[in-house]
Structure 1
Amino acid sequence: MIIAETDRLVLRQFNDQDTHAIYLLNSIPEILTYIPGEPMSSVSQAEQILNEVILPSYEELGYCRWAVEHKADKKVIGFCGPKFVTEFNEVELGYRYLPEYWGKGIGFEAGSKALEAFPQFGINEAIALILLGNRGSEALARKVGMIERGRDSYMGHKVTVFHKQLSTKTD
């Protein structure tokens, strides 16, 4: 299911054909510098995340992280979208991209469009949980209009919490 589009990108639900992309986004050390947890070591781990986390969340909540597909090559180059974070009782805007697409405005393009779509899913505010030192993600959060709310901890790591109140209109 397509959630939103920009000139260069399609934000859509992940599906069974995306397991290799999920694996790449969770196994390349450069991408995981500021992500808690160990890198994936097999595609079967990506299948497990898809089948036990992402797809059930689509069913239960109507949303979860969305695949970011590059229109030019039909390749899933990252993810961007909402995830309900139980520990905060809030919805997080999360994003991750393949390194060859960093510095090209993809994060801002996808992040802005994702936040515009949140109200369609009953999400009227969003947070971003960013590990201390991740200046790139902090800059992106600010660029999409999020404001630093303070520091906290998540998954055993110190994070900066960013927040944005979203429009409640669905026009």
Structure 2
Amino acid sequence: MLETPRLLMRPFTLDDVDAFWAMNADPAIVRYTGQDPITSRAEAEEKLIAAPLADYAKYGYGRLAVVHKESDRVIGFCGIKHLPEFSLPELGYRLLPAFWGQGLITEAARPVLAHGHQELALAKIIALIHPDNIGSIKVAEKLGMARKEQLRYAGMPVWCYASEPR
């Protein structure tokens, strides 16, 4: 578990299916991810099991549920996922629109990156960001991630940002 003044980041559980569905069903949230919105609770449960829960077992890390302390509800995710396509860990984040523009993802991502480098001993952590996703680009830059090359991922162009311990 990781904590900031406003947030708690913890592993997802099956109790989080409805929250996971909400953050993956909204077209505005997933528009830059290369994924289609999830259309049912059953699909959300299937993807929760196949992605974060399976990643914890296989790699020892994965996307974490972001809990807003004030409301005690899961409002998104922030975490590191292993990308086999690149043989690298990737920082990813997603929030419900009601929580956009409050600095919450930057707040969540700082301890997540530090944990990845220090506790998980990950030498390089990337973030793959669609060129039109200005909000995510700003977060990566605030985190001190350096923009590298442009790649293709999930059928779309992305900038590769990298974080390496200093």
Alignment-derived partner of residue 7 in structure 2? 9
- Which residue in 2 is equivalent to 1:49? 47
Matched, 1:68 2:66: yes
Indicate the SS of the match to 2:28: coil
- Return the offset for 1:124: 2.4
Is it true that 1:82 corresponds to 2:113 in the alignment?
no
SS in 2 for 1:69: strand
Q: Which runs of 5+ in 2 are unaligned?
A: none
Measured in 2, the distance between the counterparts of 1:121 and 1:44 equals 32
**2:129 matches 1:130:** yes
Match of 1:158 in 2: 157
AA aligned to 1:103 is G
Whose helix proportion is higher, 1 or 2?
Answer: 2
- Tell me the matched-pair count: 165
Q: Give distance in 1, aligned partners of 2:5 and 2:62.
A: 23
Offset, 1:144: 0.6
Structure 1 runs not aligned, ≥5 long:
none
Alignment match, 1:110: 108
8 Å contact kept, 2:33–2:154: no
Task: State percent identity of aligned pairs.
Answer: 38
Q: Is the 8 A contact 2:79 2:109 kept in 1?
A: yes
TM-score (norm 1): 0.93
Q: For the residues of structure 2 that align with 1:121 and 1:50, how far apart are their CA atoms?
A: 22
Deviating beyond 3 angstroms after TM superposition, the runs of 4 or more aligned structure 1 residues are none
How far residue 115 of structure 1 moved from its aligned partner, in angstroms, is 0.6
SS of match in other structure, 1:104: coil
Quick check: 1:128–1:141 contact (8 Å CA) kept in 2? yes
Q: Where do 1:94-105 residues align within 5 Å?
A: 94-105=92-103
Q: Give the alignment's Cα RMSD to 1 decimal.
A: 1.0
Q: Which amino acid aligns with 1:43?
A: R
Secondary structure of 1:59's aligned partner: helix
Equivalent residue letter for 1:36: G
